[in-house]
Structure 1
């Protein structure tokens, strides 16, 4: 473990081994090329090879969508609609903060921007170990709130029926049972049945991630997702059982989940370590959470609050909980994170499921430069300008002079032409 000023460790994570991704890159490149060239035939072939699925068609019919909704038990449907309503309300409030702009920057020189929805978006809904019913909500609902014309959902052929219901209730315009890299290829290039999209969002496995990386450019993506992360910042007021419980709640996602506590209290750190081991003995998902904690779990002791903040900002955790005496004031001092959970009553689990903030968040320290998926991810802020004679008189001379000094004669002429005609 590299030294970090003011930080010592009660439990350090195992060193991160460099991943050999060459085979994943090769296989994904093959999938993309074949789907681009062969369309549905290649998608069907990969569905048989990778998903053991032999569907005669990929799109979920309206009747099948409704049947999936009808198959939900009443409480699951009510909980799903509760989550959808909260995500929608928060997305609507966020969108309301994004306003068109028109300003006269100089007399006669008008600048502005419009907030324009992306025309067509593809939402990848992962299958995974458990049916994550909140996954389609987080990608589809903000897209509909943003005003996207058409939202295409793709999910693996063997995904739970409840996931189809979630896509339908969230407002997906079309749903396809296509998973993996072939789904990303179909969305990026289009096939006989799947329309090409302008942007692809949603997390997935290493093959999905690599496919998104390779198609990026002509097609937009939200981000490249890594394993889930949670860090908790706590002083001596932190409560060991609650911290241990929240750490394990994320650790059960995946054996590669990164979980950690940064605290100014070594006593609290030791208590959390003991409580994690105690809870693992009775946790039904210990077969996943245990290896995650053993290899990725971290308990760091900071010499003071400044060291705790500096180390937290260095990690830039996907989920960051604050359990301190004054969590609101402390939270204002933090800079790098995916989403912040202020006070011990705020749990990542609420965000994961239903409270309204999005759970598709930056990992692998990307929180240093970006936030997570939100309604703004589905719109473009596109600028414009228009001028009258006064504006041309103000900007043409400096634009022409600057162009001339740069040796760009075509630019100089374009800047000067309008002024010359006005003066003539």
Structure 2
């Protein structure tokens, strides 16, 4: 039984807040569904004080914006996008179309076909997540997506130049300076000026996440996203200062971001707690990190690493960082995580910003049944079949007839019957020609 060195506070009305978000989002979507561009403009003006002549940035304006971004920023964007592109290309190369012969003359095949048009949402607001452009757009282009429409909000009425540069360099075909629910709904539903997409990808705040949830089915989505999460597994050899810094690195995402430490060393847990208490007052992002740690932070002490792995799997955290003497052991012991970060030389922030794996990952326990965004999410895996041998078709027809009648599907049975009759001379008892 784990010892709780620091426990989270009880919940306080999240369900009511979620209901309020849901109602608000539903109203905006309904308005845009009915009124198209006019509603998009109304909500953009109301929520972002933003109503330009066109939300679409023309190519010459994009080039002008990119030209004004410092060269070091451009170089760094190119470096990170190269990392993302390289890993995504290896993922794509691992997916092969196949065709096999299962019976004489019976060919079954599988193809990976890119989705035609994708909407990529790149958050802005307090945190302009430039890296989300790499994760959503670069990966889509490696998959072979024909058209990517990318949206990002203005920031206090200004153009987020670095984000626009990242979207452009990633390969976005259209860039819209538009954010929030109005951007998600416009992409999903289509308006007079924005063509609808087939799949939406990218993180966002609670309103963006709720909009994706409500529109799922009319459009595909990458993931149902919640607050960012970090879980650190540490033994007695871990550096308590590094551990504390890494926990707070994710707590700064928002006041509802869980940060959890599971350790085999009570002494380490105590030191981490003391470091966090010293670090928090000086953090520029204290207004988010402090309530996140206070309300959602946990430190649990367990008897063994085996128990730590089992407990971590029960959390199914978005990010799991392993600071132990043998971090790669987690690959054999763990099953439920969005991304695994092994050893002190690695950190979750690398995954968020620079290393090349995708940072759009499952939250709120979804890692029990799904992984994160990857090149395969932008592909439709489809199958085909072809029967060239008459004898095989007759055999399949006979079995199809019997199997279908067990299920009382007479029409299905007759499709098999006619082939058994045509290719093997079987009698049709129901033929009334």
Q: Same fold (TM over 0.5)?
A: yes
TM-score by length of 2: 0.94
Once the two structures are TM-superposed, the CA of residue 34 in structure 1 deviates from its matched residue by 1.6
Q: Report the Cα distance in structure 1 between the residues aligned to 2:88 and 2:173, rounded to whole angstroms.
A: 19
Alpha-carbon distance in 1 for matches of 2:317, 2:65 = 36
Runs of 4+ in 1 over 6 A off after TM superposition: none
Rounded Cα–Cα distance in structure 2 between residues aligned with 1:145 and 1:373: 13
The more displaced of 63-72 and 221-230 is: 63-72
Kindly provide the CA deviation profile for residues 147-201 of structure 1, in whole angstroms up to 9, marking residues without a partner as x: 0010000111335221111111111000111211111111111111111000001
Match of 1:59 in 2: 56
The residue aligned with 1:191 is 191
2:15 pairs with one of 19, 26, 41: 19
CA distance in 2, matches of 1:266, 1:253: 27
Aligned to 1:370: 370
Q: Which residue of 1 aligns with 2:431?
A: none
**Which residue matches 2:290?**
290
- Asked if structure 2 preserves the Cα contact closer than 8 Å seen for 1:322 and 1:331, the reply is no
Number of the residue aligned with 2:75: 78
SS in 1 for 2:15: coil
Deviations 1:90-141 (A, max 9, x none): 0000000000011111222211110000000000111131222211111100
1:352 aligned residue: 352
* Displacement after TM superposition at 1:303 (Å): 2.2
Equivalent pairs, count: 419
Aligned twin of 1:3: none
- State the shift of 1:331 in Å: 2.8
3-state SS, counterpart of residue 176 of structure 1: strand
- What is the rounded CA distance, in whole Å, between the counterparts of 1:65 and 1:353 in structure 2? 23
Using the TM superposition, give the Cα deviation of residue 41 of structure 1 relative to its aligned residue in structure 2, in angstroms.
Answer: 0.7
Matches within 5 A, 1:36-185: 36-158=33-155, 160-185=160-185
Partners of 1:390 and 1:245 in 2: how far apart?
69
Q: Equivalents in 1 of 2:132, 2:204: separation in Å?
A: 11
Where does residue 419 of structure 2 map in the other structure?
418
Q: In 2, Cα distance between the equivalents of 1:411 and 1:241?
A: 67
1:28 aligns with 2:25: yes
Q: The residue matched to 1:298 in structure 2 has which SS? A: strand
SS in structure 2 at match of 1:134: helix
Judge conservation of contact 2:241–2:272 (CA < 8 Å) in 1.
yes
Shift of 1:393: 3.0
Stretches of structure 1 lacking an aligned partner (at least 5 in a row): 1-5
Structure 1 residue 286 displacement after superposition:
2.0
Aligned CA RMSD, in angstroms, stands at 1.2
Contact 1:140 1:172 in 2 (8 A): yes
Q: 1:28 deviation in Å?
A: 1.5
Corresponding residue SS for 1:99? coil
1:264 CA displacement: 1.0
User: 1:323 & 1:331 partners in 2: Cα distance?
Assistant: 13
**Contact conserved, 1:319 with 1:340, CA < 8 A, in 2?**
yes
- Contact (CA 8 Å) 2:119, 2:187: kept in 1 or not? yes
Structure 2 residue ranges without an equivalent (≥5): 426-433
Point out the more displaced range, 92-101 or 12-21. 12-21
**What displacement does 1:53 show?**
1.1
CA distance in 1, matches of 2:378, 2:121: 14
State TM-score, norm by structure 1: 0.96
Q: Is the 8 A contact 2:222 2:373 kept in 1?
A: yes
Question: What is the CA–CA distance in structure 1 between the aligned matches of 2:320 and 2:220, rounded to whole Å?
Answer: 27
Q: For residues 106 and 311 of structure 1, do their structure 2 counterparts lie closer, same or farther at Cα, with a shift above 3 Å needed? A: same
- 1:309 alignment partner, SS class: helix
The answer for the alignment partner of 2:405 in structure 1 is 404
Partner of 1:336: 336
Question: Do the aligned partners of 2:122 and 2:130 also contact (CA within 8 Å) in 1?
Answer: no
